[in-house]
Amino acid sequence: MNIQSKLPNVGTTIFSVMSALANKHNAINLSQGFPNFDCPEALKQMVNKHLQEGKNQYVPMAGVPALRQRLVDKIDRMTGHSINPDTEITITAGATQALFTAIATFVSAGDEVILIEPAYDCYRPAIEVVGGIPIAYELVAPDYTINWQEIKNLVTEKTKMIIINTPHNPIGKTLKASDLKALEDLTKGTDILVLSDEVYEHLIYDGANHQSVLRYPELFKRSLAVYSFGKTFHNTGWKIGYIVAPDYLMKEFRKVHQFNVFSVNSFVQYGIADFLEDPESYLTLPNFYQQKRDFFGKTMEGSRLQPSSSEGTYFQLFDYSNISDEADTDFAKRLTIEHGVASIPVSVFYTSGRQDKMIRLCFAKTEDLLESAGKLLREI
Ligand code: PMP
Ligand code: GLN
């Protein structure tokens, strides 16, 4: 039978490819972003309690009310912004589903969506599958500074959406208040929506504040902000997240969400709602991961890999140009096979395949593993 692929250029994600290569060669896996330690015991017990007590049937489409209320309280505490739990927040099957559904809801064939590259890999296929046109704005190593005037120059009458990501995967930088102000000015008076990927909202270091779109009332009127419990509670496999948007946008989002997911698994939502009663778990996260970042930084001292600063996320970029001229995908493969450490080559996050000789390493790992990886990397 003759079928026409909607995504003819899409293969297996780099995360699956590099994790499989790490497993095959018994390498330390600092590629795909996930912790090598477990989520909190108390959270597992709370989830288990609801499973055992029979919270096993459909829950409301928007999510368990108690969970939405706890999240509204969290948002209020973190951003000072007050969200309506009934109309402005929806629990999703991870951030990926929230992003996909948001794009499918608002982007139509021929619409343009501005992406800031290097960009997390799920945005572009979601745009293309609905017939939208991704317009890439390239950030350049080592500073990766956004020039908002250049982004403004990409705006046309077809621009439907701009996607931002802060803290940023893979570069580990955060947007500042001036960036959000510039975005607010750029979109003022237009019909452009902002899709803001904020899954690393709590992984932010050196005392900085997370600059969420929720902090900017004018900007929020055109924004959808996406979050993931996987990053916050060290359980990437649970695939639960949420999306926050003003009611008129959320109303449209839910029309699509109810027919591709309806409701997300029940007992996990009840368990997370209980766990969120104590804000300690997320308030301590910046410190927890900052220590890991700093520990990893120390173990890498003396390596020929040159570190970029990581202001947020659990990733750090390293420049390998002192070691090799190879393309980053080749270098990352060789590093895995010959030196026993798996990484992610940054060129895969650029449509153009731009080569800045950078790899991404994940420091969401126990100190013994980071120490072992550092030892191997210092020897290269
Ligand atoms: N956005 C970014 C920037 C991510 O790094 C990730 C996953 N690591 C996601 C979205 C997807 O999150 P989830 O696993 O909750 O779908
Ligand atoms: N977001 C994770 C990363 O950046 C990977 C998620 C996935 O494997 N799809 O490494």
Q: In this structure, are residues 224 and 249 in contact, taking their beta carbons and an 8 Å threshold?
A: yes
Nearest to 244 by CA among 194, 191, 174, 284: 194
With cut-offs at 50, 70 and 90, classify the pLDDT of residue 180: very high
Q: Is 119 in the pocket of ligand 1 (CB under 6 A)?
A: no
Domain 41-278: CATH architecture, name and number where available: 3-Layer(aba) Sandwich (3.40)
Token pair listed for 360: 């991404």
Overall average pLDDT of the 111-139 stretch: 98
Tens digits of residue pLDDT in 228-257: 999 999 999 999 999 999 999 999 999 999
Helix 65-79 vs helix 266-275: angle between axes, to the nearest 10 degrees?
40
Q: Is the dihedral of CA 35, 163, 310, 141 positive or negative?
A: positive
The domain ranges of the chain are 14-32+284-378, 41-278
Residue nearest to atom 9 of ligand 2 (CA): 15
Q: Which atom of ligand 2 is nearest to the CA of 120?
A: 4
Question: Ligand 2 center to residue 268 CA distance, Å?
Answer: 21
Give residue 254's pLDDT: 98
Tens digits of residue pLDDT in 56-76: 999 999 999 999 999 999 999
pTM of this structure: 0.97
- Residue of 116, 231, 265, 360 best suited for mutating to test ligand 1, as the one with most atoms within 8 Å of CB: 231
Q: In this structure, are residues 143 and 171 in contact, taking their beta carbons and an 8 Å threshold?
A: no
Question: Ligand 1 center to residue 33 CA distance, Å?
Answer: 9
Which residues make Cβ contacts (< 8 Å) with residue 42, sequence separation at least 6?
275
Give residue 333's pLDDT: 97
**169 to each of 117, 194, 199, how far by Cα in Å?**
10, 17, 9
Tens digits of residue pLDDT in 314-369: 999 999 999 999 999 999 999 999 999 999 999 999 999 999 999 999 999 999 99
State the Cα–Cα distance between residues 180 and 186, nearest whole angstrom: 10
Question: 65-70: long-range contacts (C-beta < 8 A, 24 or more apart)?
Answer: 66/270, 66/273, 67/91, 67/269, 67/270, 67/272, 67/273, 67/276, 69/273, 70/272, 70/273, 70/276, 70/277
Residue nearest to atom 5 of ligand 1 (CA): 169
Domain 14-32+284-378: CATH architecture, name and number where available: Alpha-Beta Complex (3.90)
